Structure 1
Amino acid sequence: METRVEKVAVADGSFDLHLWVPEGGHGPVVLLIQEIYGVGPYIRGVAEELAGLGYVVGAPDLFWRIQPGWVSAHDEAGTAESIRVGARFDVPRGVADAAAALSLLRELPEADGRAGIVGFCLGGSVAYLLAASLEADARTDAVLSFYGSAVPDVTGLMERIACPLLLVFGGSDPYISRDRVALVERAAAERPNVEVHVAERAGHAFLNHEAPQFHDPQEAPAVWALALDFLGRHLR
């Protein structure tokens, strides 16, 4: 597996796009959007797993304007500091940065023409907002958003997303209440391209095995298998 860093140029500077290329040398591209912990151990682990399945994965450093290369520990102190850093994140600029990273990914010689977006926590919100902002000629083939806290507040944007969309939430998430998740379920009910999966017993960030305070080892395996199946059906 090849790894390298590409530079994404935008109007006010440039930022790193961490890249993982599968053994076959080409495949569908996946834009992997970070949590507040940065492009750290969990995101890198996900990227390696996806690349092992044949995807060309790019993870942009979306906190580059705040602190380039930000990575924090997944413990209590690291979480608190990450929340403070994340509070300074400019969401519209971050969505625009993610769009620029996706555009670069599509242009790579390793890209086979298909493209997907996967985001966790903060990245789950960015993934959803990015998918809703893309013009018709730049739309992706699949979008997967995990516990994006912004999604319940902007369910009206769902009508702008034409590709297959999977939204995953924990039903016992203290940061995204169950009644807010229900808003997403109702909005998705009449949209055949949208799937909503709620792991009722799980909390926030329950897939992140690097964060024991969040990880749910009972719920995570089945949900991750569901996610990989979704990507496989629509990107491969």
Structure 2
Amino acid sequence: MIELTASDGASFSAYRADPAEAPKGAVVVLQDVFGVTPEIQKIADAFAAKGYVAIAPSLFDRVKPGVSFGHDQDGKAEGAAISAQIAKEQAISDIQATVDAVKDAGKVALVGYCWGGDLAYSAANKVSGISCVIGYDGSNTVADYREKRKVPTLLHFCESDPELPLEAITQFRAWRPDVSAFTYPESIKGFGCEERGSFREAAAAKAQERTLFWIAQYVEGQKPILLKNAGAYAQAKTEKKKKKKENDDLGPPMD
């Protein structure tokens, strides 16, 4: 674990995993309501094994430092109680500090799970230095549909979430065509977490495949071009076209 400091002076810990060779970029992993658990650390280790600096900030530290909870109802209740005490602006500040801590490794992706998925979606338009965002199971994300996305955004949803009807996801897709949102049949919330009874191997593998492709495309690849009226994937602006000369494309001169 390392120690970081947010812009408001708050300090917090973070789990960091480094690749064996020169990094391809960095991945910031945002925890669910259970904290920076061994599972979250395992996810960070997996990204590091793929060649990225991976870091998972302990967003609970502002309220109760150094805690994580088991994947059961008691753990969920305790984690939810802590997350409710953390203002979104405070979490965003901690995320910004985390991104700043690894940006020397290259471009930075943000990946969040459940509560962290909602935070990742919000941070995408508020935190500087992010190249792309991936969110899993963000139940509140679909209510945050009004703003165009500033970076490429990929979302994974289960199809059986009592907190998030499938119809709401369908409506979100209509509102935000600039977001790539996938649903996974016969899956429930937490389908990507191996430590939970909700784990669904096939769905988790497919979501991970899409996640790794997304990161490779936007962290290792070239910056996407800002297209006129597309608004969503604006990381690099193209140079304005030079004004056409007066006689350009007007055909041969008249006699």
Coarse TM-score class (shorter-chain normalised): 0.7 to 0.9
Aligned to 2:54, which of 35, 57, 60? 57
Aligned to 1:148, which of 138, 154, 160? 138
Contact 1:8 1:104 in 2 (8 A): no
Deviations 1:83-142 (A, max 9, x none): 2222323222112211121122214xxx1x2111000001001111011113xxx34221
Q: 2:203 matched to 1:219?
A: yes
Structure 2 alignment gaps of length 5 or more? 221-255
Aligned to 2:173: 185
The answer to which structure has the higher helix fraction is 1
Give the 3-state SS of the residue equivalent to 1:84 in structure 2.
Answer: helix
Q: 2:220 matched to 1:230?
A: no
Give the 3-state SS of the residue equivalent to 1:116 in structure 2.
Answer: strand
Amino acid at match of 1:124: G
TM-score when normalising by structure 2: 0.81
Contact 1:139 1:163 in 2 (8 A): no
Contact 1:17 1:59 in 2 (8 A): yes
Counterparts of 1:18-97 in structure 2, within 5 Å, are: 18-97=15-94
Partners in 1 of 2:50 and 2:3 — Cα distance?
Answer: 21
Give the 3-state SS of the residue equivalent to 1:201 in structure 2.
Answer: strand
Partners in 1 of 2:214 and 2:24 — Cα distance?
Answer: 16
Q: 2:188 matched to 1:195?
A: no
Partners in 2 of 1:230 and 1:23 — Cα distance?
Answer: 22
Give the 3-state SS of the residue equivalent to 1:181 in structure 2.
Answer: helix
Return the index of the structure with the highest Cα Rg.
Answer: 2
Structure 1 alignment gaps of length 5 or more? none
Amino acid at match of 2:217: R
Aligned to 2:164: 176
Following TM superposition, by how much is the alpha carbon of 1:79 offset from its aligned partner in structure 2, in angstroms? 2.2
Contact 1:155 1:183 in 2 (8 A): no
Aligned to 1:14: 11
Following TM superposition, by how much is the alpha carbon of 1:150 offset from its aligned partner in structure 2, in angstroms? 2.0
Contact 1:171 1:199 in 2 (8 A): yes
Number of residues of Structure 1 aligned to a counterpart in Structure 2: 220
Deviations 1:118-170 (A, max 9, x none): 00001001111011113xxx34221101111221111112x1x2322101111
Hey, which bits of structure 1, 4+ residues long, moved more than 4 A?
none
Amino acid at match of 2:74: A
Following TM superposition, by how much is the alpha carbon of 1:55 offset from its aligned partner in structure 2, in angstroms? 0.5
Distance 1:139 1:187, change over 3 A: farther
Sequence identity percentage: 25
Amino acid at match of 1:174: P
